[in-house]
Amino acid sequence: MDKNQEGLTYAGAGVDISAGNRAVELIKGSVKSTFRTGVLTGIGGFGGLFALDTKKYKQPVLVSGTDGVGTKLKIAMLLDKHDTIGIDAVAMCVNDILVQGAEPLFFLDYLAVGKLVPERVATIVSGVAEGCRQAGCALIGGETAEMPGFYAPDEYDIAGFVVGAVDRDKIIDGKQIEIGDRLIGLPSSGLHSNGYSLARKALLEVAGYTLEHYHPDLGRTVGEEMLEPTRIYARQVQSLIGQYNLKGLAHITGGGLTENIPRILPPGTGVVIERRQWPVPRVFNLIQEIGKITDPEMLRTFNMGIGLVLVVSKEEADGLMSLLNSMDEKAYHIGEVTAGDNTVRFV
């Protein structure tokens, strides 16, 4: 070893602990804005503490979920716009536990970056905090990992983890679903966070659009359309629980209506969905036209404008829709449960 050679440092190897500390300082305000009853610790501890309200839940069951954002991250990176991708991370996790009737309690995020830029991290986490506020859950912890040589300097990945609670006798599991029950669809905000590999292929490669391209059919740029945050349905679902017997709920993500609804159906049942019962956002038609994609492929890849499906009895369907409308929430009667082999038939 050369005696004149300077000693190696972690920063010299690409990991800047000081930048990490600065990032923590920058996100403290966003994180604290999500705190709710039950949070016992602030940011900076080794673990987040949350006290479950044992008076509210008689037989509490914890419900957990984890997910990422997929290749939608590519769009955020290409546009260098990072303030909404955190909402998607929260939405993909929270919507999954909502369908079992759980109240979201707390959330943790994992952020891996090629180079830790404190201001960018703070922007990403501000989106996570916004998603948590929409969901009513607390952001009580997370991890930011600087991984030079694994990710390019401007690349990152984000994943989320959520924990919620539901009373054992109030778990929504689809077992009560019967022939004749109605399917109520709540609209998506567009692509949400699935199907982006196909969407990018059609819009950016086949059509040759840039993300800055303004498309009159969309009423905005392609990039703005593709970065539209995933909707979080916590407010709607929590408002309905206790007032209506929600027999089943399905979060429509990858696999679309075709594969997500059967996950909650009891044996011997299927569903018929009337495709003309809701407006399909123009982005889906555009992707289909450009890519010459078949209807079945579209329906099993994208949400096609429906982000959440609720199953209720025929008798309760109209009342439930009226309540949703009074909350300024559009709702569509999109189909019904029939005898079948756990498949979805579109008419």
Give me the chain's average pLDDT, please.
94
What's the pLDDT score for residue 14? 84
Q: Given 3.30.379.10, 3.40.605.10, 3.30.56.10, 3.90.650.10, which CATH number is that of 182-346? A: 3.90.650.10
Q: Which pLDDT score, from 0 to 100, does residue 44 have?
A: 73
Beta carbons of 187 and 278 less than 8 angstroms apart = yes
CATH topology of domain 17-170: 60s Ribosomal Protein L30; Chain: A; (3.30.1330)
Task: At 40, list the tokens.
Answer: 């016992």
Lowest-pLDDT choice from 28-37, 102-111, 240-249, 272-281: 28-37
Does residue 36 carry a pLDDT above 70? Answer: yes
Q: What are 133's two structure tokens? A: 């506020």
The percentage of the chain sitting over the pLDDT mark of 70, rounded to a whole number, equals 99
Report the first-to-last Cα separation within the chain, whole angstroms: 75
Q: Say which range, 3-7, 146-150, 335-339, has the weakest mean pLDDT.
A: 3-7
Inform me whether the pLDDT recorded for 4 exceeds 70: no
pLDDT in tens, 89-114: 999 999 999 999 999 999 999 999 99
Per domain, the residue ranges of the chain are 17-170, 182-346
Q: Which pLDDT value is given to residue 24?
A: 84
What pLDDT, on the 0 to 100 scale, is given for residue 168? 96
Instruction: Give the pLDDT score at 8.
Output: 82
* Predicted pLDDT of residue 6: 76
Residue 43 confidence (pLDDT): 75
pTM: 0.94
What's the one-letter identity of residue 231?
R
Average pLDDT over residues 33-57: 87
Concatenating the DSSP letter of every residue in 9-55 gives -TTTTT--HHHHHHHHHHHHHHHHTT--TTB---TTSSS--B---TT
pLDDT at 1 over 80: no
pLDDT of residue 22: 86
Query: How much is the pLDDT for 342?
Result: 93
For 57-90, write each residue's pLDDT tens digit.
999 999 999 999 999 999 999 999 999 999 999 9
Tokens 């500390």 sit on residue: 21
Per-residue pLDDT at 292 exceeds 70:
yes
The pLDDT value recorded for residue 308 is: 98
Long-range (24+ apart) CB contacts under 8 A made by 316-320 are 316/244, 316/245, 317/182, 317/184, 319/244, 320/184, 320/240, 320/244
How much is the average pLDDT of 174-200?
A: 97
CB neighbour list of residue 298: distance below 8 Å, 6 or more residues apart = 256, 284, 287, 288, 304
Say what the pLDDT of residue 205 is: 97
- Fold identical between 17-170 and 182-346? no
Q: What is the pLDDT of residues 157-173, one digit of tens each?
A: 999 999 999 999 999 99
Tell me the chain's radius of gyration from C-alpha atoms.
22
Q: What is the band of 23 on the pLDDT scale with cuts at 50, 70, 90?
A: confident
Listing DSSP states for 178-239 in one string gives -TT-EEEEEEPSSSTTS-HHHHHIIIIIIS---TT-EETTTTEEHHHHHTPPPP--HHHHHH
Per the CB < 8 A criterion, the answer to whether 185 and 278 are in contact is yes
